[in-house]
Structure 1
């Protein structure tokens, strides 16, 4: 736990041992009195305080140039103890705030540009139906952004990383996929000589199977990536 030195008022880390641990710790401090005692977790030395005298009472304190935050961090590490398995660093990246802001701005620009291109494509290719689909796409985008915003008010808020933004931009393109399938089916029915009402009915009914299958495939892929995917650990 974290306490404060009664004489200096500075933060310090307080240690309390069990009876068995107290005996072992006392024997160790007898041997290293006047030296430093390294505290090692997962093969890393996190602190190496000096031992001024044998500590036999089961209580010890680590003092030094701690701030409240560093003292809390050390106390947390000591309470957590070593992990049951060794850790291997797979990825480590340090991104400065300027670079991060630049990447964010480029991602947002790419998203806006992609949205405009999709809208133009839909209107040029499908006319009024494409315009309606574009309005639906805009509503979808606003709805998802609203969910992101509202999630920040809960303990389980959504963190938008650069990869998350890229995924959201990709979802904008995927959101219009169902409309394209339906419109193409409608065009096929019209070319087959059916009237507009019959073409609409057949277009929706025949496109449903493809829409269902594509969404199920997306859900399965997302579940697999969520379970087994790896990436940089945020800290």
Structure 2
């Protein structure tokens, strides 16, 4: 079943179109379930089955609104509930309630543990203090490294152009280990894209050059015939008189009318 992400009352939800639900009931995967599920032999039977599930509030018909972020639209449940292939429906059943329950219990446990921190044993409180100091030390080391690499770049920008970056991938969108590979690198800008060959941006020859090529081809053809030959092209005329050994004159048409 193809689903999309929407926002219902400020909460992320999954919704689908009626056609997708009908296709899911008509798919071979649903037919393999056999007697465990109701049999569906037509689109009308699938529509009736899905309509009978609406009172159980597994899904409800919605109306889509404007987009609130990339790929997420605001949705709202409409009062009149029915199933139609062209309508949209939102899932109201949590696919994994055990996970939600475990997350809720863990959140409550963390809050209670924080509130009851003065009642912790002395060794646990000392361990938490060392752990917090270690985390703060890592954060300070990261900011110190960022300052050192900036100072190094400023110095090498003046002394040894184009400059050297220490850990050039430190702020790149890569993994933790890849952020420190390589150790240093030159501050070289990315290569520029190659310019297009033609000035008009199409890369195709102009009309004037095409006509000149046609005229040259007509002249070459005229030289291959003996006696008197007369050739016409697009804007080009060639005349030749005399024998095969005599010179031939080729006249090229003026291209002023193309400009």
TM-score range, shorter chain: under 0.3
| Structure ranking higher on relative contact order (CA contacts 8 Å, 6+ apart) | 1
- When normalised by structure 1's length, the TM-score is 0.22
Higher strand share: 2
Q: Rg bigger for which structure?
A: 2
- When normalised by structure 2's length, the TM-score is 0.20
Higher helix share: 1
